Amino acid sequence: MTDNDRMMNKTIRTLALLAGAALCAACAQHRPSTVGTTPEVEQRVERILAQMTLAEKVGQMNQVSAGGDPSQYAEALRAGQIGSILNEVDPVRINEFQRIAVEESRLGIPLLVGRDVIHGFHTVFPIPLGLAATFDPALVEEGARVAALEATAQGVRWTFSPMLDIARDPRWGRIAEGSGEDTWLDARMGEAMVRGYQGTQWDATSMAACIKHFVGYGAAEGGRDYNSTFLTERELRNVYLPPFEAAVRAGAMTLMTSFNDNDGIPSTANTFTLKQVLRDEWGFDGLVVTDWNSMGEMISHGYGADRKEVARQAIGAGVDMDMMTFGFLSHLEELVQSGAVKESAIDAAVRNILRVKVLLGLFEHPYVDAAAAQAVQYAPEHLAAAQRTAEESVVLLRNEGDLLPLDPARVRTILVTGPMADAPHDQLGTWAFDGQKQHTVTPLAALRERFPGRVVYVPGLGHSREHRARFDDVVAAARRADVVLAFLGEEAILSGEAHSLADLNLQGSQSELLAALKAAGKPVVATVMAGRPLTIERDLPNCGALLYAFHPGTMGGPALTNLIFGDAVPSGKTPVTFLRTVGQVPMYYNHHMTGRPYNGELLLGDIAPEAGQTSLGNTSYYLDYGAYPLFPFGYGLSYTRFAYSDVALDKAVYATDGTLRVSFTLANTGSRDATEVAQVYVRDLVGSLTRPVKELKHFERVALKAGESRRVEVEIPVSELAFFGADGTRKVEPGDFQLWVAGDSASGEPVSFQVQ
């Protein structure tokens, strides 16, 4: 090749690249906005941007923690150095912050006021893992709306929720804050929360959602918070990214980068996820904020030497706003002046920020009516929604001899015991910043109100970690009672951020307390309130019934009372696999098929074991704990029984753009009206990559009267079966599939179909 040829080739490559870039820019412009912006909004944004100095632009990209007196920030606000505050909820102070920004800064740009409103604001709903256990997106949306009504009344217009991190390791304390292990369920919950928070654009009760943490944070090695992850692009695209994409499509206005580094790259500097996937592929035109000092933490990660370098890396990856590193504020101007960062990158970030502020109507209504804010909090309809959600979030894991529901006429004396029976702060769960414990109704309070004079309370243990050798007082009280209601679990502080655990058994002497109660000979109903699926196998034989309540929030007490006494019927299902022992981590239902699957019931459908795989010794399991969890994903009992039959598909062969019409008969064969969460799972038998043994593709809450039976029909677009395959594209791969309809991920008989 001559020098001339080389030169020519280079020119052609450059031209092709330029043409590609121009095309991309063009298609980006013609793509529909993910946050619903309009030409008018964009013109307004441009008008503001045109008036801004570089310093004012950089100021918009700076978020600070308010923490008290607005006057401490007065000077910075006047100088336009702050675009957003977090951690202020007092409406009077928020108004004052806004007043300084709007009336005393040169351009009068209102502040975006953010807060972690994660599972309710004042009225606290169950933790997100409990919300997921409802399998009821409509109810979850309603709860998010309640949170928005309460928070926006006080001036909070941005919540750092929903957390969409897939979590398959219950040691990780933040498993409490998400929807559990399943991608499809997580996506549905995320969309619901986004819709609920954001409500109607321009409305004063619209609160911008922030989908977080982008991305992979839940895969922290060893379940230790903040730890590194090593997710491949395929795993990201098939498991971790889809909930984010769904929430972007649902209109999420903002997104937060995560603390973790994935495969060596901190998320806050990851151009692949933040630019290629989020902006270029999904067309996200909302705001990207860092997590708290996650830009600064890139220095600890050893990815950048100082704040200036990490600020350059973050803006280079497309971060718009810096939460509490002050890296942008301190260094962006000089980085632009030195040519290391283009001013167009700053402009793009500021556009994203201003767009959100305009769409929230903040320019029209920067202030709230502080005097009216109080009346919105804990409104009766908010408490009712929280109670309904708590009822639906509880999972019945055991009910020997149909002990539950209890008949109030048959239990005169009720012993209430256990460290969670009267723990008003702890039943609120993690991230209940604004929930006030004086508004919490504990099980003890609810039971006393319902059964005046019939409740005996002997706590047994003051808190979950207390050790005690003897329980004579509790046992004596149990002997005198007709029934024992034991409320066990873990305090709020044992889950959530930076609260990982290596031991997932009930802490302290709780298991011993339960064993002592069992020995007293009276029926024992255990309720576990926790932020994660604990390993409760050894406790099951010591109770007749067990209700699992992921920290249920303000109205947990009345909800549990209703469930225990049959005024509500459990319908919750496990959003995460319950393990027998912590050593089984990670164990989740939608794992890939190994070459040597356990040869018991785990072998699905008509796939026969290969020669040599029939002996236990050669298959995938633990010598001491076998191959199964304690309870599978999607599991939960009711006070009735449900029977599935005649699962059918409308065709045997589908086109890749077709729709599966699945029908089945669901019968309530018991004597109580109840709701069942019917679940549809699919397996792609042979793929260009090995595929999960089952994947949830649909669920449906079906309410049936006692004795009623119904033919249920659901539709699933074949496109739902697409995955990111060996060729690096996302598509449905033609071939053989199986489908199950069942009450959990480990039940049902497969029906076969093909995609051609």
Query: Hey, which residues are catalytic here?
Result: 291
Residue at token pair 């991305």:
215
Comparing CB distances to ligand NOJ, the nearer of 299 and 513 is: 299
Residue 566 burial (10 A CB sphere; 0-12, 13-18, 19+): middle
Residue at token pair 């962006």:
332
Contact 369, 412 (CB under 8 A): no
User: Which tokens go with 430?
Assistant: 């993690």
Q: Residue type for 110, please?
A: P
Contact 653, 659 (CB under 8 A): no
Comparing CB distances to ligand NOJ, the nearer of 116 and 181 is: 116
Q: Where are the beta strands (DSSP E) in 569-620?
A: none
Q: Indicate whether 224 belongs to the interface with ligand NOJ (CB under 6 A).
A: no
How many whole angstroms separate alpha carbon 616 and alpha carbon 62?
Answer: 59
CA atoms within 13 A on the CB side of 615: 3
CB of 160 to ligand NOJ, least distance (A): 3
Contact 432, 124 (CB under 8 A): yes
Residues forming a β-bridge with 713 = 663
Comparing CB distances to ligand NOJ, the nearer of 323 and 559 is: 323
589 closest CA partner among 572, 573, 602: 602
Comparing CB distances to ligand NOJ, the nearer of 116 and 333 is: 116
CB of 293 to ligand NOJ, least distance (A): 9
CB of 290 to ligand NOJ, least distance (A): 9
CA atoms within 13 A on the CB side of 55: 9
Residue 339 burial (10 A CB sphere; 0-12, 13-18, 19+): exposed
Comparing CB distances to ligand NOJ, the nearer of 160 and 737 is: 160
User: Which tokens go with 361?
Assistant: 């109507």
User: Which tokens go with 593?
Assistant: 């098929």
Comparing CB distances to ligand NOJ, the nearer of 67 and 222 is: 67
Q: How many residues bind ligand NOJ (CB under 6 A)?
A: 6
552 closest CA partner among 581, 569, 527: 527
How many whole angstroms separate alpha carbon 127 and alpha carbon 132?
Answer: 9
Query: Which sign does the torsion angle of CA 593, 598, 599, 605 carry?
Result: negative
CB of 323 to ligand NOJ, least distance (A): 7
Comparing CB distances to ligand NOJ, the nearer of 174 and 450 is: 174
User: Which tokens go with 406?
Assistant: 């209890």
Q: Indicate whether 292 belongs to the interface with ligand NOJ (CB under 6 A).
A: yes
Give CA torsion, residues 232, 234, 240, 243, to 10 deg.
160
CB of 116 to ligand NOJ, least distance (A): 5
In the range 7-36, which residues lie near ligand NOJ by CB under 6 A?
none
Contact 513, 460 (CB under 8 A): yes
Overall residue count recorded for the chain in this entry: 756
Q: Indicate whether 497 belongs to the interface with ligand NOJ (CB under 6 A).
A: yes
37 closest CA partner among 365, 288, 358, 364: 358
Q: Which one among 97, 125, 160, 723 touches ligand NOJ, defined by CB under 6 A?
A: 160
CB of 412 to ligand NOJ, least distance (A): 48
Comparing CB distances to ligand NOJ, the nearer of 128 and 743 is: 128
Comparing CB distances to ligand NOJ, the nearer of 116 and 391 is: 116
Residue 541 is given by DSSP the state G
Binding map of ligand NOJ across residues 101-140, x = CB under 6 A, - = no contact? ---------------x------------------------
Identify the H or E element spanning 441. Answer: none
Comparing CB distances to ligand NOJ, the nearer of 291 and 539 is: 291
CB of 582 to ligand NOJ, least distance (A): 24
Comparing CB distances to ligand NOJ, the nearer of 116 and 512 is: 116
CB of 291 to ligand NOJ, least distance (A): 5
CB of 525 to ligand NOJ, least distance (A): 35
In the range 194-213, which residues lie near ligand NOJ by CB under 6 A?
212
How many whole angstroms separate alpha carbon 178 and alpha carbon 180?
Answer: 6
Binding map of ligand NOJ across residues 724-753, x = CB under 6 A, - = no contact? ------------------------------
Q: Which residue number has the CB closest to ligand NOJ?
A: 160
User: Which tokens go with 618?
Assistant: 């050669």
Q: Indicate whether 227 belongs to the interface with ligand NOJ (CB under 6 A).
A: no
Q: Indicate whether 226 belongs to the interface with ligand NOJ (CB under 6 A).
A: no
CB of 158 to ligand NOJ, least distance (A): 10
Q: Indicate whether 499 belongs to the interface with ligand NOJ (CB under 6 A).
A: no
Q: Indicate whether 88 belongs to the interface with ligand NOJ (CB under 6 A).
A: no
How many whole angstroms separate alpha carbon 737 and alpha carbon 752?
Answer: 6
Contact 275, 255 (CB under 8 A): no
CB of 734 to ligand NOJ, least distance (A): 41
The DSSP annotation for 615-682 comes to: SGGGSSSBTTTBS--SB-TT--B-SS-EEEEEEEES-SEE-TT-EEEEEEEEEE-SSS-EEEEEEEEE
Q: Indicate whether 214 belongs to the interface with ligand NOJ (CB under 6 A).
A: no
How many whole angstroms separate alpha carbon 278 and alpha carbon 282?
Answer: 5
CB of 240 to ligand NOJ, least distance (A): 16
Q: Indicate whether 225 belongs to the interface with ligand NOJ (CB under 6 A).
A: no
Comparing CB distances to ligand NOJ, the nearer of 324 and 335 is: 324
312 closest CA partner among 285, 284, 336: 336
In the range 315-374, which residues lie near ligand NOJ by CB under 6 A?
none
How many whole angstroms separate alpha carbon 192 and alpha carbon 197?
Answer: 9
How many whole angstroms separate alpha carbon 623 and alpha carbon 598?
Answer: 12
Binding map of ligand NOJ across residues 375-394, x = CB under 6 A, - = no contact? --------------------
User: Which tokens go with 747?
Assistant: 């039940």
Q: Where are the beta strands (DSSP E) in 418-465?
A: 455-457
Q: Indicate whether 97 belongs to the interface with ligand NOJ (CB under 6 A).
A: no
CB of 553 to ligand NOJ, least distance (A): 19
Q: List the Cα angle 427/206/152 in 5-degree steps.
A: 55
Comparing CB distances to ligand NOJ, the nearer of 88 and 291 is: 291
How many whole angstroms separate alpha carbon 744 and alpha carbon 756?
Answer: 29
Q: Which one among 56, 142, 186, 291 touches ligand NOJ, defined by CB under 6 A?
A: 291
Contact footprint for ligand NOJ (CB under 6 A): 116, 160, 212, 291-292, 497
